[in-house]
Structure 1
């Protein structure tokens, strides 16, 4: 009976001829359902990022990760994907800021993080949800702001507009016309040796800016398809913002073979002579470049951060910070390499399928048969050949490493499943 219930819930991959995909996509779909958890405070169900964040520290962080985890559920379990989107909205202040996350009973602690990308990840998942499900009535539903106990509600479309206004006016654009970083984008710790108090309100993120190029066109598309008179001026505002960022980004890119990573100031620039993976995937997804130009960029990036590796793309050609080249400074991150795969799929699907195979648990097993973390689940990062290859960076104190299992992160399960469905379209 139990097996039958699971079979009724999980997608059917019986016709998949590739045995690795057939096995791993079913396992990943199972992971989505098995890891989902209900929040009594928000009255929504999410796919937590898991690993030590949820299962050791007890933190439901961050909302950008929950939004990425929702992507394959748009195909396999749309009500779950919708609940995750609403869960993130319920972390929204009335000015459009999206809180980083929570712990305990819906508690969001005061935080040093002033994140600049939560709205971008929200727009991406919302656009994919609407493209896949056609649930345009969702835009008219009422959702509660944070904190829930105040009971203040707005319709979805109004909240989405506030998210955009927060991105445009509060986060803003920097001197080079690129989206600002504030004190963190995807990288929670990019500043390292540089005080965010000094640089955060001038720093510009090429990752954030590339996300605008990749995400805004599909957000505009779904809003147009919604055929809602309340979206007309909003769509124009989105187009104007997108065009402005795109023009600045392409000017900055010039004829280089890869995007820069970030400018903390006009004298402190990163990623001009060192390939940093973060923005490359979203740049390749954008419609701003020809397929010939995309291929040129991909081949160069590939030669620096994938060709030297066995299982995936590392974040750096070489470390930026002069410390161990692991974690964000040289590790292999699922949440960064799969967007590259999606970018490659826009001009070379055969290569994208090859990448999906290379990023698989099976390929990890073939290369690192003695390391069981990585064969069936993983942390959010796996070390590259630059440092302790095949292992992972420790996010917990040394005395707890034997009992703090860093597996069951959502990203190595949810990203490949989403990309599998995208490649099937």
Structure 2
């Protein structure tokens, strides 16, 4: 049982009833490390344009990534009537998949306020107020809805800086005696006459409202109503059931809602962003790494394939005509290449493209033009050509080292692999090799080969297939009797004396391990890296007294996802056991007093033997910390979804999936009962 409340339903959807009085309960206080201790708990909700950050005080932040990382409001939005206000810690608070509700009661009236992100790409929120008269006589009241615009642009690393008001407006839609009207001030008073025991619904919308609409009912026709949005949401979210994991029934639709709610229509590059969020975007001001939106979109192929394709197109547009993808985009959507130059990013684009084609058979999508980032001044080319150039960049520029493995450059998936390798940095960057990326490429490239061949590029397909097979054989040779080695540097072998988790599932998935060896390795991981860990397997074993993001005592969603996938093929009972450790329910059971992990989470947790188990990493000496913003990382929503699908056998160009008693259904896919 969480210290903060319990799961429930609202409008026929999974929701969380927040019951703690955070002002009095000492368990509510937590330390963001880079900022003073706080009692604010929040969850990020959204549509395909705007993000609503709803908190335990009944207040809201609104965030828009359309042209840059922009806070529209911070800690705003309150309703008042008859001495009641919705921003009190003793109110009833409910967090839903795209909405948040606050209820307060007085001696004469009750007030319920719901803020909802409407379905679609509307850059505003809908606000529904329900006022009920508790008296046996009529009352005349004034209802006030008020928002304060506090726009701020997120600067790189240093945080938010004040920005000009982008033109936020409050519009009364229904419930007023004078009909619809707008207020640029963000405040509106509505007179109410309530009969004895009667109630009134009053509806507003707030945000970046269309400027060409009249101040009448016609303006509201440009977006769905409150009821239409909820009906569309119920229809859109997937359903799941699994006797092996009862949590799936409410967690799968919840994860789908919060994952898709992280998307934003991109007004600069086209398509939709789907970045990590959390400290990266909301605190430190960048969208990165490029692999992350691609990874987040993978389960969407089987839920909302149009959004998955849009994210693929958008992320390809980060790059240039040589096929290189920058590590990240800065807060102004400009390529940011100063920090890391990882060697794996093209693989994620090729993987997402193959997953999409396998699920949809939509070969025509790859003939549609996609731009390059404007800094390159290059003409758009078809999506399929983007991918071919990315393959060429991976094969020719990233290339391979003296052992034949993929070069590591200054990072692979693990941003701090160079530091943790023990090899001198410049030498490792120049000559280091990543067995991890060889194993991943050995799985990805044959699937990209299918795509290339279906698009008529048989030469590229044959080359990708040949390279993948060569890498698979090399990875098979990295078995040291207990696990697969991790990397090579000049005169050094990394991962011979300790287990680096990230390479192990990819070695299994690419076929470098026989079925017997795969089962042996998975059981070794359960007895070592996963032992006595309620949230999943640690990144390194044996554990040492270090937990940085490069790390040893950290548990990563992205790596546990591939581990569950590998187990699904060889030891399914382990796969289900590990999936349950990935759930929100598992975090709540192990760490009921920790807010992160209750409804959303970071990209990684600290293991039980660290000094802050169940929380997340910080590198305060470098001015960065996941703990500074430990929720709304989309790995915490995308990876449970993708792992669940893999447990049901959903794979690109794979066998017909089967549920083994578990089930999943979306608008485009049904598996199991």
TM-score w.r.t. the length of structure 1 is 0.92
Q: 1:349 to 1:148 in 2, by over 3 A?
A: farther
Alignment of 1:64 onto 2:291: yes
Q: Distance in 1 between matches of 2:364 and 2:559?
A: 32
* 2:413 matched residue in structure 1: 186
Match of 1:342 in 2: 565
Q: Unpaired runs of 5+ in structure 1?
A: none
**Residues 204, 397 of structure 1: alpha-carbon distance in 2 compared, 3 angstrom cutoff:** closer
Deviations 1:233-288 (A, max 9, x none): 111111221122122222233x52211111122x2221101011111111121234
Match of 2:609 in 1: 386
Aligned length: 417
1:272 to 482, 496, 505: 496
Give the gaps of 5 or more residues in structure 2. 1-226, 649-656, 658-673
Partner residue of 1:244? 470
Task: Please say if 1:140 is aligned against 2:364.
Answer: no
1:235 has 2:457 as partner? no
Name the counterpart of 1:423. Answer: 647
Cα RMSD of the aligned pairs, angstroms, is 2.3
> What is the CA-CA distance between 1:327 and the residue it aligns to?
3.0
Structure 2 residue aligned with 1:406: 630
Question: Which residue number corresponds to residue 309 of structure 2?
Answer: 82
- Asked if structure 1 preserves the Cα contact closer than 8 Å seen for 2:295 and 2:348, the reply is yes
Cα distance in 2 for partners of 1:62, 1:169 equals: 21
Which has the larger Rg? 2
Identify the structure with bigger relative contact order (alpha carbons < 8 Å, sequence gap 6+). Answer: 1
- Quote the residue 1:130 is aligned against: 357
Q: Which residue of 2 aligns with 1:352?
A: 575
Give the C-alpha shift of residue 402 in structure 1: 12
Task: Please show how residues 103-122 of structure 1 align to structure 2 within 5 Å.
Answer: 103-122=330-349
Relative distance call for 1:400 and 1:291 in structure 2 (3 A) is closer
Q: Could you tell me which residue of structure 2 aligns to residue 256 of structure 1?
A: 481
Deviation at 1:399, TM superposition (A): 9.4
C-alpha separation in 1, matches of 2:526 and 2:536:
10
Q: Is the 8 A contact 2:320 2:376 kept in 1?
A: no
Spell out the pairing of 1:85-104 with structure 2 (5 A cutoff): 85-104=312-331
Identify the residue that residue 515 of structure 2 maps to in structure 1. Answer: 291
Tell me if 1:213 matches 2:411: no
CA distance in 1, matches of 2:608, 2:382: 49
Q: How far apart are 1:396 and its partner, in Å?
A: 5.3
1:332 — aligned with what?
555
On the 8 A contact 2:328/2:337 being kept in 1, the answer is no
| Structure with the higher fraction of residues in helix conformation | 1
User: Relative to structure 2, which stretch is displaced further, 280-289 or 291-300?
Assistant: 280-289
Secondary structure in 2 aligned to 1:413? helix
Asked whether the equivalents of residues 42 and 148 of structure 1 are also in contact (C-alpha less than 8 Å), the reply is no
